[in-house]
């Protein structure tokens, strides 16, 4: 769920090879198109730091301040700290399998 950063260009068909060679030219469209409509997210995909983030802390904060963030649970097998979901600031363990965050603060 990515699109080219330069939105002035005509909409183009997604080119996977171009994306893998040039991830810096892309941004996630997930948070702009879907984040405000979901309550639970199970994120279990491979992600690397060269690729666009799925959810930024900035966008989550904006939606929360506008009372449009419904998200209350996120599960992620890898839990990359400050990774594709910037809301993850620490990892969990079996003794403490979850933690709460406030996207505004």
At 63-97, the pLDDT tens digits run: 999 999 999 999 888 888 999 999 998 988 889 88
Supply the pLDDT for residue 65. 97
Model confidence at 8: pLDDT above 60: no
Which residue, among 101, 97, 77, has the nearest Cα to 89 in the 3D structure?
Answer: 101
pTM exceeds 0.95 for this model: no
């Amino acid at each position: 769920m990515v699109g080219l950063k330069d939105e002035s260009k005509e909409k183009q068909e997604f080119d996977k090879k171009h994306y893998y060679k040039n991830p810096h030219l892309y941004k996630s469209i997930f948070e702009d198109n879907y984040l405000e409509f979901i309550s639970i997210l199970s994120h279990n995909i491979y992600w690397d730091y060269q690729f666009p983030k799925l959810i930024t802390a900035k966008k989550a904060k904006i939606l929360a301040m506008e009372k449009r963030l419904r998200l209350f649970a996120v599960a992620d097998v890898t839990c990359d700290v400050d990774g594709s979901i910037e809301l993850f600031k620490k990892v969990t363990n079996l003794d403490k399998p979850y933690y709460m965050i406030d996207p505004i603060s």
